[in-house]
Amino acid sequence: MGEDGSGGALHLLCLAANSGVPLFCRSSRGGAPTRQQLPFSVIGSLNGVHMFGQNLDVQLSSARTEDTTVVLLVGLEELTNIRNVERLKKELRASYCLIDSFLGDPELIGDLTQCVDCVIPPEGSLLQEALSGFAEAAGTAFVSLVVSGRVVAATEGWWRLGTPEAVLLPWMVGSLPLQAARDYPVYLPHGSPTVPHRLLTLTLLPGLQLCLLCGPRPPLSQLDPQMLERWWQPLLDPLRACLPLGPRALPEGTPLHTDILGLLLLHLELKRCLFTVEPWADREPSPEQRRRLLRNFYALVTATHFPPELGTLEKADDTAYHAQLPRACYLVLGCEEPGAGWRLVALQLGPRRLLLLLSPQSPTHGLRDLASRTLQALTPLL
């Protein structure tokens, strides 16, 4: 349930469908978590609407009023056969950090694109080699390096994880409080929705974590300091170079035009993306506004111009159909004259899609050329 306005509150309410008992209610206002809760009368009304529709064999997916939006979601199989409500409510508390990060003003964009948020490390080949060796020594094929919820490097097994777990796992790691080591039971919504796997996390540096997805083995105690020192101590400087990549995504020295205030690059086949609003951070608008503009622009162009699976469609034989598909579009917020209005441009080329937020000084007649040159420069990275 959302209230209109930039300072409005957003509520996520979870009810037990059969009994109407509230399992949790999480709220945020202005992008920050809040203790504000929905009145019991509202919760009862929502449950009444659900039960009314259920009795008529009607499934209510959404409802809308002038200033609020209500969305009811069905939980996983484990939530459909509740034996002890109080115990379930207690267990759901482990999800609060992840839920709150979705309700806030996230720096990531994987929730919208369903692509994994990534960064490009300066010495990626060295990190990748060490990661593969460490994975073999630890006895698991699913290992990744994560900085601020973004994947720095990962094994082939980790990249083969399906959606949404490939997006959710690093996001969850980034939402949790800092801890030296962690052994977390996780359910994979696509791969294993009923049997939990173990997610092990080890903090190599503050903000940089080594993540392992595994079964009963190895025990966390087996990943002793000597093993970590063997694989990661020689790479301390490359690891330190990853820390500022959280918000920046791109390594220092990546050539970007001075008009670029934010970018989103997606590889639709690999399901990976680069998202940053850090270029020239001393200019207006603020990083929060830049993220909001790019997120809204992505939603707009995906819904109206670019089919969600355009990269896959291009492999088909219908040449006439593909000739009609758009390759670029732009939007000016305000007057189109130089010096007025933010510029937003999107460009599709093969499996890659690039969205740029540009300064008002960027002339509209040069937007496509600027986007083309930027995409060409970034293509080797993703």
Say yes or no: 121 and 243 in one domain: yes
Say yes or no: 144 and 27 in one domain: no
In tens, the pLDDT along 247-294 reads 899 988 888 999 999 999 999 999 999 999 988 777 888 999 999 999
The CB-side HSE value for 177 (13 A sphere, CA atoms) comes to 2
Q: How many domains does the chain have?
A: 3
Residue 111 is assigned to a structural domain of this protein: no
Residue where the block lists tokens 């207690």 = 90
Say yes or no: 269 and 372 in one domain: yes
CB of 294 closer than 8 Å to CB of 265: no
Say yes or no: 99 and 122 in one domain: no
User: What does residue 250 show for φ and ψ, rounded to 5 degrees?
Assistant: -110, 145
Q: What is the pLDDT of residue 80?
A: 60
- Name the least confident of 156-165, 210-219, 312-321, 345-354: 312-321
Please identify, among 74, 105, 136, the residue that sits at the C-terminal boundary of a domain: 105
- Structural domain boundaries enclosing 376: 254-381
Burial of 266 (0-12, 13-18, 19+ CB in 10 A): buried
Residue 81 is assigned to a structural domain of this protein: yes
Q: What is the pLDDT of residue 152?
A: 96
CATH number, domain containing residue 180: 3.30.450.30
Say yes or no: 231 and 260 in one domain: no
Say yes or no: 187 and 284 in one domain: no
Residue 1 is assigned to a structural domain of this protein: no
Q: Which of 234, 232, 251, 229 is nearest to 242 (CA)?
A: 251
Q: Which of 7, 4, 1 is nearest to 29 (CA)?
A: 7
- State the average pLDDT over residues 7-16: 73
Q: How many residues does the chain have?
A: 382
Q: What is the pLDDT of residue 311?
A: 47
Say yes or no: 258 and 228 in one domain: no
Greater model confidence, 201 or 73: 201
Please identify, among 247, 271, 289, the residue that sits at the C-terminal boundary of a domain: 247
Q: Which of 292, 134, 285 is nearest to 218 (CA)?
A: 134
Greater model confidence, 189 or 107: 107
- State the average pLDDT over residues 158-179: 90
Predicted TM-score (pTM) of the model is 0.83
Q: Which of 23, 28, 29 is nearest to 46 (CA)?
A: 23
Say yes or no: 238 and 140 in one domain: yes
In tens, the pLDDT along 319-351 reads 555 556 788 999 998 766 666 789 999 999 999
What is the DSSP secondary-structure string of 323-338?
A: HTS--EEEEEES--ST
Q: Which of 139, 143, 195, 194 is nearest to 169 (CA)?
A: 143
- State the average pLDDT over residues 312-322: 52
Say yes or no: 304 and 192 in one domain: no
